[in-house]
Homo-oligomer: A and B are copies of this chain.
Amino acid sequence: MSSPCSRHPHPHRLIQQPLTELTEKLRSKSRKITAPRQAILEVLRRHQHPITNKEIHAALGTADCDLATVYRNLHTLEDMGMVRRFDFGDGVARFELLEEGDDGHHHHLVCTDCSAVVEVEGCFPTELEQALARRHGFTRVTHKLEFFGLCPKCAPAAPASA
């Protein structure tokens, strides 16, 4: 779960939207613009990969706020459609800030060793999903999909040596 690999930069999720626009969105939905809330949004804005409540809390630094407040705010932001929740199957929720108009539906390739994350471009073909829905009479069908493997830096041994 530590991240030696996450050091090397992947070109993902550079949020262009300034903090002011984000807080404005809060105001427009009659949410108060508080210090903890702004700080949390700023942390999310700077992060390029899904981040946990605890990580957000740790990153808050000076603008310290209670961990429970972080949890509550992420629920709020999720309800507002400003962040998307991801589940990497390790029992910890992770969140990504969404740009205006982005529904955030995408997937990740996660290193099972160092937790390095690559955002997966493109998505699972929806035809299969629709066929599934039709075949079984389900409606409003969505899916959760994440890929797992060993990243280059965590690969077992040098491929060309020995």
Contacts and interface: CB of A to CB of B under 8 A. Distances in A.
A141 interface: yes
Q: Which of A137, A142, A146, A156 has the most CB of B within 10 A?
A: A137
Given A89-B87, A91-B91, A140 B133 contact: no
Interface string A111-135: 1000000101010110011001100
A149 B144 contact: no
Interface in A65-93: 87, 89, 91
- For this chain, the copies found in one complex come to 2
B144 A132 contact: no
Contacts of A146: 143-144
A114 to B, nearest CB: 12
Interface of A: 87, 89, 91, 109, 111, 118, 120, 122, 124-125, 128-129, 132-133, 136-152, 155-156
